[in-house]
Amino acid sequence: MAGAVDLSALKARAEAPVRPPQAPGAAPAAGAAGPFVVDVTEQSFQSDVLERSLQVPVVVDLWATWCGPCKQLSPVLERLAAAANGAWVLAKVDVDANPRIAQAFGVQSIPMVVAVVGGQPVDAFNGAQPEPQVRQWISSLLDAVRDRMPGIAEAERGAEAPAEPEEEPEEEPEDPRFTAAEDALERGDWDEAEAAYQAILAQEPANEQAQAALAQVRFLARAEKVDPTAIERADAAPDDVDAQLAAADAEVAGDGVEDAFARLVDTVRRTSGDDRDRVREHLVGLFDLFAPDDPRVTAARRALARALF
């Protein structure tokens, strides 16, 4: 399979800031089954799969919630990934939520498992295989690339070493830049708070804490100005894009998050061109107010993908 699939298009489509690649043997973000299992989206594909595969092999599990064989195979892969201690990483991809990844791998049936090394797919299999067969496939993969990927041996040595007692983490000193921004927030001075977070991002564009806080500040500033009748006006004028955006803000502010997401997804379906782009960007901005794994966000991202494609 080496060289048969071009994954470069997914790099260009990533909308989220890319995290720096991790050192060999370092644990990725924790997934559902441990630190060496990660749920991958189109936005995180470059960092979680392509860049990570420069250090250790990444085994991509392409699955869907409705797929029965997937429910048999995924737990096997998760157990083996946990036991490997980072000698390889399991990247789980929900093909319904991430159709571009499925398209890039040429998925015709699931479950499909693809090994990515050095940013390129090198081997794959389809269907729910028994655990001994999956174990042998992974062992063969590691043996084939161990000499040129020192991260594998490093992780394997760590798995054999006795566990060291955990040390209490040192408390990080408070960042005065964030203190100033938070003080402005408490005063309700949205402009000053936004300026403070933008100043941090000017120095550290990838600072995720400042990115999330800036999204919150901008939303609070908008929500404060929303007309109390925004939802009624939007319901009466479904083709008024500005009214739909304002109503979505009002719904999120009133804890009607799912209603807001559904409203904007429906508006995306009804619009085109610049109007559609405005609505999509506004919806993605609302997603940033919540944790990426919030089930309301996950469901809305899937609905948005269906509306767009």
- Tens digit of each residue's pLDDT (9 = 90 or more) over 133-186: 999 999 999 998 888 887 888 887 765 555 555 666 666 667 788 888 888 878
Boundary residue ending a domain (126, 160, 194) = 160
23 vs 121, residue with greater confidence: 121
pLDDT for res 267: 95
Catalytic status, residue 233: no
**Domain harbouring 89, CATH code:** 3.40.30.10
Boundary residue ending a domain (160, 188, 212) = 160
Same-domain pairing of 107 and 203: no
Domain annotation covers residue 166: no
Residue 5 reports pLDDT greater than 60: no
Domain annotation covers residue 128: yes
For the ranges 209-218, 235-244, 300-309, the maximum mean pLDDT occurs at 235-244
Pick from 108, 292, 111: nearest CA to 211: 292
For the ranges 62-76, 166-180, 196-210, the maximum mean pLDDT occurs at 62-76
Q: Give the C-alpha separation, 220 to 15, whole Å.
A: 23
Element (H, E) at 243: helix 241-253
Q: Give the C-alpha separation, 34 to 36, whole Å.
A: 6
Q: How confident is the model over 265-292, as pLDDT tens digits?
A: 999 999 999 999 999 999 998 988 888 8
Domain annotation covers residue 101: yes
3-state SS, residue 177 = helix
Same-domain pairing of 149 and 20: yes
Q: Give the C-alpha separation, 78 to 71, whole Å.
A: 11
Pick from 132, 152, 126, 44: nearest CA to 93: 44
Beta-carbon contacts of 87 under 8 Å, excluding residues fewer than 6 positions away, are 56, 142, 151, 152, 155, 156, 159
Same-domain pairing of 185 and 295: yes
DSSP secondary-structure letter at 233?
Answer: H
Domain annotation covers residue 168: no
Same-domain pairing of 180 and 303: yes
Domain annotation covers residue 296: yes
Same-domain pairing of 21 and 152: yes
Edge-to-edge, what's the strand order for the sheet holding 58-63? Answer: 37-39, 89-94, 58-63, 112-117, 120-126
Given phi > 0 = left and psi -120 to 50 = alpha, else beta, which region is 193? alpha
DSSP secondary-structure letter at 31?
Answer: B
Boundary residue ending a domain (160, 190, 205) = 160
Quote the crossing angle between the two packed helices 208-224 and 190-203, to the nearest 10°. 160
Same-domain pairing of 23 and 149: yes
Same-domain pairing of 264 and 291: yes
Same-domain pairing of 140 and 254: no
Q: Which of 49, 59, 67, 112 is catalytic?
A: 67
Same-domain pairing of 276 and 149: no
Burial degree of 189 (CB within 10 A; 0-12, 13-18, 19+): middle
Same-domain pairing of 53 and 103: yes
Q: Give the C-alpha separation, 88 to 175, whole Å.
A: 36
Catalytic status, residue 70: yes
- Based on the structure, what is the number of domains in the chain? 2
Q: Which of 37, 70, 104, 110 is catalytic?
A: 70
Q: Which residues pair with 125 in a beta bridge?
A: 113
Domain annotation covers residue 169: no
Domain that holds residue 63: 8-160
Question: Is residue 142 within 8 Å of residue 158, measured between CB atoms?
Answer: no
Same-domain pairing of 114 and 199: no
3-state SS, residue 81 = helix
Same-domain pairing of 66 and 141: yes
**φ, ψ at 110 (rounded to 5°):** -130, 155
Domain annotation covers residue 167: no
Domain annotation covers residue 2: no
257: number of Cβ within 10 Å = 19
What is the mean predicted confidence (pLDDT) over 234-253?
92
Pick from 270, 206, 217: nearest CA to 243: 270
pTM over 0.75: no
Can you read off the two tokens belonging to residue 82? 């946990």
Q: Is the peptide bond before 111 cis (omega within 30 degrees of 0)?
A: yes
